[in-house]
Amino acid sequence: MTNHSETTGSSGNGNNGGRDRGGSGIGDRVGYDAHGAEHQVTLRTPGELADALPYLLGYRPEDSIVLVALHDRGGRGRFGGRARLGIPTNTDDWAAVARQLAHGLITGSERRGARPEQMVAYLCQEPAAGESGKQVTQRLAPLAGLLRTECGRLDVPVIEALCISDGRYWSYCCPSEECCPVEGLPMGLPGTSVLAAAATYAGLQVRGTLRELRARLQPWETAAALEQEVALDTAGMDLVPRMLDMTSRADVAEETVSLARRIMTRLAEAPSLTGALQADLRDDELLGHEEAAALVLGLQDRTTRDRAAEWMEAEEAGPALRLWRALARRCVGPYGEHAAAPLTLAGWVAWSAGDEIEAREALAMALGADPGYLFARLLHQACNEGLDPESIRRCLRAERDTRARSEAAQSGDVEKAEDAARKGTTGSDGGLSVSPTGGDGTLPPAADGTLPASRPGTASRRRKRTRSGVRPDALSHPADTEARPSGAEESRPHSRTAGSTRPGAARRRITGKDSARRTEGTRPVGGATEGEG
């Protein structure tokens, strides 16, 4: 089970004031500010709040608990941070999840200097077979009550709690059947509300459902998955011994980088297609099983992965993101943990390009694949904190320039070395520093006050083995921990153990400084269902 929470305190604003309407907890006006006051929309009813949810998140949530903070600004309310978690299937987990979500959003807002005054809560779930939306609402009523209780304990009242199911909505706060009947009220058609028109005018888009967004990053479940698994097994028998050898490691890294560049060129030259599904299918056809296997395994080396992270700008970013998505889809069967590398790269490129929605999902899915993957944890925290990715880009540019100078010097190309040196003068010192204050070079806590893989009220879970008879082993080699964007992380291939027939399925392990961090990596209880990063 994996989890995802997000806090994006700047993309939606609004007003909340005056008297109650129809007995509901919402005020006479709750506004949504798309892009400045000229696009402000006033929300007056629970139905309008329900219609606003996809625009607050940027996608349509499914099987989700969503909390939205409201801040008072001179008597006028303003939407603040948002937090989302999957609805646990086990009702025993509801209390812990409600506590975790309320505490995380409120403390995250406080850290930004803006404690919310009120909350709006949403429960989104489609009916199971033979179930109606009304029954969903009744079944989830205790969860809505727990959310209201936990927020109330922190002196932040929930002024409206809505259940959205089967194209209808229900209010848990409105006692009036005239306003909110027990049968619920129909949701408006997507894109037909005043808010939808204002959002479209302001350039905001709803990216479909969360399931559609994640489908681009999830491993294959088709007949071709078996062929890809065989290719990974075969490639592992060749690459893993070479990656374990200190002499040939550099050769494998160069081969991986060169192959990735060739594939990116191939993707960039392909004609563009309309629609994410068609584009992804075409990209899958352009990437062979053996090529994908070599890249997936090669990226398990941290240094190689960091070099690939440099493809984040200009004409490289688009093909790189497509390649990382395609590789994440190739991490099939027992190779699911290997997806942490391409998912982290996809999240990084998306964030660098300004797409925080895909960035959060990709990084959260990376942590679902490997909760101890430090690079993903750092990026996930930084993205949730609203930090500027430019500080990381500067580090990566400096790394690239330093490597270019070194290569030029070794080849005896004086002119090339001098040119690389001139470019390097505009870079940073090469160390990762994405702290808000730029002080100690460390990241602040995540938006919910904790690390994504270690939150309050959690229960530890054993990590499953990829293969019978294969255990994770660490590769010992010098760790350049200070100059790499991943900090102290070690992400390596592993030696083949006795009795193992598939070395490519061997798993990684965090060592050194990360070992202590790994012990705290418990999973949040009641997270989203499998694949909901």
Longest dimension (CA), the chain: 83
pLDDT in tens, 355-389: 888 999 999 999 999 999 999 999 998 988 878 89
Domain with 223 in it: 216-387+434-464+487-524
- Return the percentage of the chain with pLDDT > 90, whole number: 44
Q: How far is CA 55 from CA 30, 58, 212, 360, 443, in A?
A: 14, 5, 16, 16, 29
CB proximity list for 381: less than 8 A, separation 6 or greater: 443, 444, 445, 446, 447, 451, 452
* Nearest-angstrom CA–CA distance, 65 and 532: 13
Given 160, 189, 208, the domain boundary residue is 208
Say if residue 204 is in the same domain as residue 224: no
For the ranges 64-78, 195-209, 414-428, the one whose mean pLDDT is highest: 64-78
Residue 286 or residue 527, greater confidence: 286
User: What mean pLDDT is predicted for residues 134-160?
Assistant: 94
* Nearest-angstrom CA–CA distance, 159 and 27: 8
Say if residue 201 is in the same domain as residue 305: no
Q: Are strands 76-86 and 118-124 parallel, antiparallel or unpaired?
A: unpaired
Query: 303 lies in a domain?
Result: yes
Say if residue 249 is in the same domain as residue 202: no
Residues in the chain: 533
Confidence tier at 457 by pLDDT (50, 70, 90): very low
Number of structural domains in the chain = 2
Query: 2 lies in a domain?
Result: no
User: According to the 3-state scheme, what is the secondary structure of 435-496?
Assistant: CCCCCCCCCCCCCCCCECCECCCEECCCCCCCCCCCCCCCCCCCCCCCCCCCCCCCCCCCCC
CB proximity list for 253: less than 8 A, separation 6 or greater: 298, 301, 303, 304, 307
Say if residue 355 is in the same domain as residue 438: yes
Q: How far apart are the first and last CA of the chain?
A: 9
Query: By C-alpha distance, which of 273, 494, 453 is closest to 363?
Result: 453
Given 208, 224, 246, the domain boundary residue is 208
Helix (H, G, I), strand (E, B) or coil at 160: strand
Region class of 175: left (phi > 0), else alpha (psi between -120 and 50), else beta: alpha
pLDDT in tens, 67-100: 999 887 666 667 888 889 899 999 999 999 999 9
Query: 254 lies in a domain?
Result: yes
Query: 163 lies in a domain?
Result: yes
* Nearest-angstrom CA–CA distance, 354 and 350: 6
User: What mean pLDDT is predicted for residues 9-38?
Assistant: 38
Average of per-residue pLDDT values in the chain = 74
For the ranges 209-213, 306-310, 423-427, 516-520, the one whose mean pLDDT is highest: 306-310
User: What mean pLDDT is predicted for residues 397-403?
Assistant: 89
Say which amino acid occupies 361. E
pLDDT in tens, 268-324: 999 988 888 899 999 999 999 999 999 999 999 999 999 999 999 889 999 999 999
Say if residue 452 is in the same domain as residue 315: yes
- Return the percentage of the chain with pLDDT > 70, whole number: 65
Least confident of 84-93, 108-117, 142-151, 241-250: 108-117
* Nearest-angstrom CA–CA distance, 96 and 23: 30
Query: 11 lies in a domain?
Result: no
Copy the structure tokens of residue 192: 């037909």
Say if residue 300 is in the same domain as residue 202: no
* Nearest-angstrom CA–CA distance, 504 and 297: 7
DSSP secondary structure string, 386-414?
T--THHHHHHHHHHHHHHHHHHHHHHT-H
Say if residue 247 is in the same domain as residue 323: yes
| DSSP label at residue 376 | H
Copy the structure tokens of residue 179: 């306003």
Q: How far is CA 407 from CA 393, 400, 401, 402, 413, in A?
A: 21, 11, 10, 9, 9
Q: Which residue has the tokens 């290997």?
A: 338
Query: 393 lies in a domain?
Result: no
Helix (H, G, I), strand (E, B) or coil at 317: helix
* Nearest-angstrom CA–CA distance, 100 and 151: 10
Say if residue 75 is in the same domain as residue 118: yes
Query: 272 lies in a domain?
Result: yes
pLDDT in tens, 492-514: 343 333 333 344 444 333 333 33
CB proximity list for 114: less than 8 A, separation 6 or greater: 9, 71, 80
User: What mean pLDDT is predicted for residues 390-411?
Assistant: 86
Say if residue 197 is in the same domain as residue 286: no
Q: Are 83 and 67 in contact (CB under 8 A)?
A: yes
Helix (H) or strand (E) holding 278: helix 276-285
CB proximity list for 278: less than 8 A, separation 6 or greater: none
Given 208, 243, 261, the domain boundary residue is 208
Say if residue 200 is in the same domain as residue 349: no
Say which amino acid occupies 286. L
Say if residue 273 is in the same domain as residue 180: no
Query: By C-alpha distance, which of 305, 233, 243, 237 is closest to 476?
Result: 243
Query: 418 lies in a domain?
Result: no
User: According to the 3-state scheme, what is the secondary structure of 237-268?
Assistant: HHHHHHHHCCCCHHHHHHHHHHHHHHHHHHHH
Q: Are 97 and 524 in contact (CB under 8 A)?
A: yes
Confidence tier at 422 by pLDDT (50, 70, 90): low
Q: Are 317 and 353 in contact (CB under 8 A)?
A: yes
Say if residue 89 is in the same domain as residue 235: no
Answer yes or no: pTM beyond 0.95. Answer: no
